Structure 1
Amino acid sequence: MDSTLLKFVLPALIILGISAGPAVALEQSCRFIQAKADREACYKRQEEELAARRKPAPPADESKTLESLHQMRQDDEAVYRSIHSICRGC
């Protein structure tokens, strides 16, 4: 193979292998449980863990968010007033 191709393909394959490893390991650990109820419980725990990781972060303090929105609106109004005074009828 071409050495430049190896410079790009090999690191990409290594990164892919590292990132996919834990997910595959979790799935396989449940797969080999013999008792059906235990295996299903294992899969359910994995689904809950995955859902918890995908859950969006809780929003920041609402009062700060509202204050920042209010400040942005004030800034926008000031900009619009200044533009309107510069460009009458543009």
Structure 2
Amino acid sequence: MKLAACLSFALAMTASVSAATAVEQCRFIEARPEREACYQRQEVARAARQKAEEAKQAVQQKPYEPIAPEDAQLAKSLRSICRGC
């Protein structure tokens, strides 16, 4: 059990390190056109991630609708029942 946990932790650390190094690799490319192309690819990927994150936040921030039409109708009928309470 501990071996499996250690292996999964090591795999997760390796994956996070490889993702971080993917961002840093462009500055080590010597040829300017290739380096600029790399930066452009990274910018497109960043914009796509940001757009996906904004869409995710927009879905999560839907306005809360406290009273549905049926609830409003029920509240109206209850008010008419109890006038002098």
TM range (shorter): 0.3 to 0.5
TM-score if structure 1 supplies the norm length? 0.46
TM-score if structure 2 supplies the norm length? 0.48
